[in-house]
Amino acid sequence: MQALMLLADSGTLLPEFRRRLATAFPAARFHDLADRDEFMLEFTPDSRVYIEYYGTSLADWEGTELDYIQAALPVTQHVYSLAYRGIEAAKKVVVQLADSRHVLIDNDNGTLLRGDDFVRKVLTEPSWYWFDDLTN
């Protein structure tokens, strides 16, 4: 399973995320996870996204990435994990949740962008396979 990290200035976005996704994908199935409002969105058994809140630790980032995060989100940064099976499912979800300058997306493959820039890249380059970013 792979994951995108979504960074935002609020730690209470899970109910809003679920509402947006339920509106956008009424045929998808939602499954509650063990912690609080965390959930899994299933398009098919091989196409799903787990959405979890990871807190405020930025221990996974350092150097220029950390500087970028702190400049882009100068208040407390809250981290959400979007673990996924099926990159197309991840793209669908990120388009619904991250189309904002107040959100950052890290694809863990060398790309860290403001949410609206990440969404624009997904929409303008539909065949973008971000694992290729590791080789560039």
At which residue do the structure tokens 């991840």 appear?
90
Contact between 7 and 76 under an 8 Å Cβ cutoff? The reply is no
Q: What is the CA radius of gyration of the chain?
A: 14
What CA–CA distance (Å, rounded) separates 133 from 2? Answer: 14
Tokens standing for residue 60: 């996974």
Q: How far apart are the first and last CA of the chain?
A: 22
| pLDDT tens-digit readout, 66-113 | 999 999 999 899 999 999 999 999 999 999 999 999 999 998 887 899
Domain total for the chain? 1
CATH code of the domain in which 110 resides: 3.30.310
Question: To which residue do tokens 């950390």 refer?
Answer: 66
Query: What pLDDT does residue 121 have?
Result: 94
pLDDT in tens, 18-68: 999 999 999 999 999 987 789 999 999 999 999 999 999 999 999 999 999
pLDDT for position 91: 96
Across residues 106-127, what is the average pLDDT? 92
Helices (H), the chain: 14-24, 63-72, 87-97, 115-124
Boundaries of domain holding 16: 2-135
pLDDT of residue 134: 55
Percent of the chain predicted with pLDDT > 90: 81
Residue 99: closest CA among 122, 70, 133: 122
pLDDT of res. 135: 52
Q: What is the structure's pLDDT at 75? A: 87
